[in-house]
Each structure stands twice: as C-alpha cells, then as structure tokens.
Structure 1
C-alpha cells in the first residue's frame, strides 16, 4: 500500500515538475515589449530607459517594438493575440481606456483580453496660453469666458485623447464655452498657441514643459492633486477653485489574458523595481513623468474605472473620431 502511494506521488511530481520548473526559470528567452507609439515619444523613451535595468534583472534581451496606428489599437491588438507566456508585453495609455467609447468593433475586449501588470507612470495635463494673453490665471480666463466678449478656443493633441477629455471636463465644471481645436499631436498644438491661432492648449506636462521653462508659453494650471516638482510655481486646478478636477495621462504594462499568475506577479514586481532604480527614476522624472507602480489588481481597477469615466465624458460631450 505504502509502495503504491510512493509510485503515485512520484508520478504526480513528474507531471508537475516541468511546469514548476518552467515558471521558476522564467524568463529563458528575449522579452518583447510592444509600444503602440512612434519611436521618440514619451512612452517609447520610458521603456528604452527601463530596458537596460530589466535586462540586467532578467538576464535576457528586452526588445522594444513600435507598432503604430489606429489610436494604439494595432499595437495593443498584437499583445492581445500573443501567446500568454510572458514573452510579449505591451504599453497601454489612456487611449486604451477611451477607445471602447469611441470606436465600434474593437478587435479585442479591453477588460477581458489582457492581464494588467502595473501602472508605470502618471503625468498631469496642463493648460497653457501665450505669455501676452489678457488673462494670467484660471480665474481670469473664466471671467473672460463668462463675459462673452469673444469666443475662446483651445487646442488639444487630438480628438478623444486624455487632453481632449480633460478640456471637456474643465468646461463642464466651470461652465466656460471654449471651442475645441484638435491637432495631430502636441507639436502643432504648441505652435498654434504660440502663434495665436488658439488661445489655449491642453496637453500632457512632458509635451509643454520645455516651452513653459523657456517662457514661450505660460502654464495656467496642472491637473494633478498637488503641485508638480517640475513646475512648483504653477497652481493646480483644485487650488484655483475647480473642485474635483484631476486629469492626466498614465502609462501601464499589460500582457495577454491567461498569463500565469506567478509570472504576472514576477513581471509586476520587476517592473516596479526598475521604476525605483535611481537611474530610471531620475531620467523619467526629468521628462515630466512620475513613476507610479501598482499591483496587477490595482491596475485592473484603474483601467475599469477609466473606461467608465471616459465613457461618461465622451457621451456627455458628444465626442466623435474620424
């Protein structure tokens, strides 16, 4: 009887051993990280700064692949369709949570086809204007808007982006009538506000920080809960009386659904460790990004909350994409 028990136990261990050994040895080959934005953008720079630290921790190459197009859908879909083995990961941003409200027939289910790993960073949206504008503060802007003396306009980095949603949220909170002018990215939006084609621009902090520091544009407010170290002199929207206004852009990391929980936990922990590395932390902070790691479950809840809140703003403002 005891002998039969030993034989059965040995057989069970022989079945389990390869699985446990595989998980324990992970990773054994290069890990691909899909960035759904062009090379040189904030998310691309973030991952390329983290890559050497991750390679040192994992002992395998980290390959950054830029898969661009369709408001991140092409790159994100490549992650959704990859094998759930931990060797294909993907960067997601606010667009990941907004797209379900803007686009019909996505090739993936945002809440079901991915394994959230961790939030990576947060950066607030910033409202900027020309240095010579007649208003110098958010309150001054609101007074001008309410006077009806002229129509105000604000650029953003595109229809349905986090910056556009931030502008619509501000309009709803303040009652200001501001014409939205979408631009294909921050660079043309900055040029427009500097040249007076628009009165304002709502954009992520990293995209406008160099121009604010050089005095070419002025920041009226930041969408964070507290002032940011990069622009400590600029008040938050909340400080300026816009209660509850927080808005910004976040980056995070996901894998395909079905990822082994042990591998997911390891990836999450290693990504958090890389973010905390002084070399990584200082470089991305200089870009205007705040390292913000989280557990997989916390990141899952953030995505679900953003899908819901973004959908409400999109429906209320009647936002459409071409």
Structure 2
C-alpha cells in the first residue's frame, strides 16, 4: 500500500512539474537579464547593443543590463555566455571576430559556437574605402586607375593582417588586377584614423560608422561601401552593387544565448529584439550612426553564420596555402 502511495505521489509531482514548467517559461522574464558585450564600453558595438536592449526591455518588462567583458578578441565575453545557465537570463552579443577570427584561429580551448543558441542578427555593418578629403581620388575607379599606373605604391590602411579589411583588399586586388601597399594598423579604426589625420595614409578600409566623426567634419569621404544598398546615414557614398563591384565585406552584431535555452524563451527574446530593432525609436537613432539594421531570426541567423564561416574559412585556407598569412 505504501509503495502504491509513493507511486501515486511521484506521478502527481511529475504532473505538477509538467504543468508548471511551460507556465514558468511563459512567464519569462521574471527578473533582470544580463547582456554580455565582449568589447569595451563606449565602442560602436557597445552603443548599439545598449540602445536596442534599452528598447527591447520595454517589451520584455524587465531591465536588460550590460556587462562589458573584454579580451581575447571577444572570446572572453562569449565564453562567459557559453558557460552561463541556459535560462534566458544571460545573453550576449557576437561580432565578426566572435564568429570568424576566434573559431578559425582556435584562440581559446573550448570555444565552440555550438555552445550557443542564436537569437537574431541586429545589424550588418559593411566596410568601406574611405579617403582623406584632399585625396586625389573622387571615385573607386580613380583609385583603381592610380594603382594600375603605380603598382605597389598606393598605400591603404587596413586593420590586423588576416583581418576582414585585409581580406576585402586582397579580393579587390584580385578583382581589379591591381597591387596595393596594404599597411596593417592593429587595434581597429582608432589607429587608422590617426594615420589618416597625420598624413601617413590617405586611404583606409573600415566601416563608415567607424569614421563618422571625420566624415561629418569633412576631413574624409567615402569612395565605396561594400554593400548592396546605400548606407542609411551616408547615402551619397556609392554601394558596391551600384558601382559594379562584386565585393561584399563587413561586420555585424548578433544576439545569442547559451545552448539549450528553452525554445519559447528564445522566441520571446527574438520577438522583443526584432520589435525593438524595427521600431521607430531605434530606426531614427541608427539612421545617424552609419549602421544598417538587418534582422535575421534564430534559424536564419544560424544558417547565415554557417555560410559566413564556410566562405571566409576557405579564403583563409587559400591565403595560408599562398603564404600571404602565417600557418
């Protein structure tokens, strides 16, 4: 009899848990959500993540607070998200380095993107060729013509060797049949800007948003953006498609949660971030910072990341084989 009572109690408990579990997930969120930004406060990724999250939290009904966890080309912060409890209360943002550089170079043991559940892509920030205002080039065709006249003499400030901006310029060299003097400036857009302001170079490759202050003050101009449509802020800069250039390059911001986060929690977060991204408040704000919103939902962005990795890893493998970058 006692055994039967125990079985009955166990069955009753299981039934309560089965009923309560979905209800708890439907109530999500019931407390603050931590958003890990794997770059320093005050940067472009940080600013965009904070703005869109501040709008999303109104839809979620709970505060989304940002924690900046720097280091390891974003790996430190992302590892933090990978190791978090998969309950929707710790999420993080990924950028190009998180998806491409760190996995390809295997910079951190245990860093595997399958430890994450993608929620959605927020932005797609294309790279561009930017020149000093007094540079002799008015169009990308002018620059290509100058490089053909003086092979190896036209200096271009890229970021790290093997970086996205480096790959883009190698692709341009191949497409246009030119040879540029590619000068690496590790550390992102800051050192590139300093090099342009000091006159070391008159050409740099990064996003228009990264050079916003120089563009807005008239110290620099965009020659071409490696995108399919005009930039919402700098619509006077030709996009690659309209310039007849088959070259696309850029960074992005993706929101992700730890793997095994419940599907309905992921859907709730995706809905909140999509609404925030596409709403009037964010659209008006982002139109002034040179970044293009580009929402992709959980499954779409998961597939998109796999495609990006496949394409760029193949590029890296070829560059290694050709001796352009170190093994």
TM-score (structure 2 length as normaliser): 0.89
Within 5 Å, give how 1:141-180 maps onto structure 2: 141-148=143-150, 151-180=153-182
Q: 2:226 aligns with which of 199, 223, 226?
A: 223
Q: Which residue of 2 aligns with 1:267?
A: 269
Q: Which residue of 2 aligns with 1:56?
A: 58
Partners of 2:273 and 2:51 in 1: CA distance: 12
Quick one: structure 1 residues 280 and 12, their matched pair in 2 at CA, closer, same or farther if it must change by over 3 Å? same
Q: Which residue of 1 aligns with 2:301?
A: 299
Partners of 1:150 and 1:196 in 2: CA distance: 18
Secondary structure of the residue aligned to 1:51 is: helix
Which of 95-104 and 135-144 deviates more?
Answer: 95-104
Within 5 Å, give how 1:39-188 maps onto structure 2: 39-99=41-101, 100-110=103-113, 112-148=114-150, 151-183=153-185, 184-188=187-191
Contact 2:39 2:70 in 1 (8 A): yes
Secondary structure of the residue aligned to 1:208 is: helix
Partners of 2:67 and 2:142 in 1: CA distance: 45
**Structure 1 residue 36 displacement after superposition:** 0.7
Partners of 2:130 and 2:276 in 1: CA distance: 32
Q: Which residue of 1 aligns with 2:5?
A: none
Partners of 2:159 and 2:204 in 1: CA distance: 8
TM-score (structure 1 length as normaliser): 0.90
The yes-or-no answer on 1:252 pairing with 2:239 is: no
**Structure 1 residue 265 displacement after superposition:** 1.0
In structure 1, list runs of 5 or more residues that go unmatched: 1-5
Partners of 1:39 and 1:172 in 2: CA distance: 37
Contact 1:194 1:217 in 2 (8 A): no
Q: Which residue of 2 aligns with 1:20?
A: 22
Secondary structure of the residue aligned to 2:296 is: coil
**Structure 1 residue 263 displacement after superposition:** 0.8
**Structure 1 residue 46 displacement after superposition:** 1.1
**Structure 1 residue 87 displacement after superposition:** 0.8
Partners of 1:234 and 1:147 in 2: CA distance: 25
Q: Which residue of 2 aligns with 1:197?
A: 200
**Structure 1 residue 305 displacement after superposition:** 1.0
Partners of 1:321 and 1:84 in 2: CA distance: 37
Contact 1:98 1:160 in 2 (8 A): no
Partners of 1:132 and 1:57 in 2: CA distance: 47
**Structure 1 residue 10 displacement after superposition:** 6.1
**Structure 1 residue 178 displacement after superposition:** 1.7
Which of 31-40 and 162-171 deviates more?
Answer: 162-171
Contact 2:173 2:179 in 1 (8 A): yes
Secondary structure of the residue aligned to 2:238 is: coil
Q: Which residue of 1 aligns with 2:216?
A: 213
Contact 1:223 1:237 in 2 (8 A): yes
Which of 50-59 and 32-41 deviates more?
Answer: 50-59
Contact 1:94 1:161 in 2 (8 A): no
**Structure 1 residue 267 displacement after superposition:** 0.8
Quick one: structure 1 residues 211 and 96, their matched pair in 2 at CA, closer, same or farther if it must change by over 3 Å? same
Q: Which residue of 2 aligns with 1:236?
A: 239
Partners of 1:150 and 1:91 in 2: CA distance: 38
Partners of 1:321 and 1:208 in 2: CA distance: 29
Secondary structure of the residue aligned to 2:287 is: helix
